[in-house]
Amino acid sequence: MTESTRIALITGASRGLGLVIARVLGQRGYGLVIGGRDRDALAAAAGELSACAPAVLPVAGDITDAQVRANMIDAARQLGGLNVLVNNASQLGAIGPLMAFDVPRFGQLFPVNVGAPMVLTQLAVPLLSERRGLIVNITSDAATAAYPGWGPYGATKAAFELLTRTLASELREQGVSAVLVDPGDMRTRMHQEAFPGQDISDRPLPEVTVPFWKWLFDQDPDAVRGERFAAQHEDARWLQQV
């Protein structure tokens, strides 16, 4: 590792979309801090990523745990700083109509999907500001469309989108940018858990988003500040949603 090595922190990186993003960054020479709740899956991911990244530090645990978040920031500091923060960890659960939704469950969804990534961002900004870094917050089209059954999850992502746009404005003077990325519908474990027993093989694997991530990480962070992107668009020139 050298002082010029770029560093990225990716939550929810033990599998699925988070692992795909980590692969892209590792192949571009980033040192990686990766988080995930499944310790064994995270260790396997770290082993794979070590073949391409100059350094990989896995931090196992729940993102809502303050000590886990502190450990992630400490790991980034150990590697030398932070250029990119990807807030990917999220919780969906089984979908269903609002009239049958157990409203107290908001107390589980919002801490994972909104609260924890915001606190992690607060901890990361001092490091990001030293390198004019980029915050990438993963969202969903459920934040902007009223899909039956997806209301609670969509509500958390809608809140996350507003906070991200506000961050993009507030952090300008600190040299930190923030963007939103909607990866689109994908064949992941989280999506399978939302449809227990159903066949979701018609959905693409998270690898379909690789061209987008390669494009995004080539951009000047300040040039994409506050934008929202659709990662499955076929042409990178039109990824920006207006």
Q: Is the pLDDT of residue 31 over 90?
A: yes
* Whether the predicted pLDDT of 42 surpasses 60: yes
Q: Choose among 22, 160, 148, 23: nearest CA to 90.
A: 160
Cα distances (angstroms) measured from residue 184 to each of 16, 68, 175, 207? 13, 28, 29, 12
pLDDT tens, 167-202? Answer: 999 999 999 999 999 987 765 566 555 555 565 566
Average pLDDT over residues 148-157: 91
Annotated catalytic residue within 153, 160, 217, 229:
153
The answer to whether residue 30 sits within a structural domain is: yes
The total of structural domains in the chain comes to 1
In a domain, 135, yes or no: yes
pLDDT value, residue 2: 78
CATH number of the domain that residue 210 is part of: 3.40.50.720
Q: Which pTM value belongs to this model?
A: 0.92
153 has catalytic annotation:
yes
Q: How confident is the model at residue 152 (pLDDT cuts 50, 70, 90)?
A: very high
In a domain? residue 2: no
CB 69 within 8 A of CB 33: no
Q: According to the model, what pLDDT value does residue 146 have?
A: 87
What is the span of the domain harbouring residue 152?
7-238
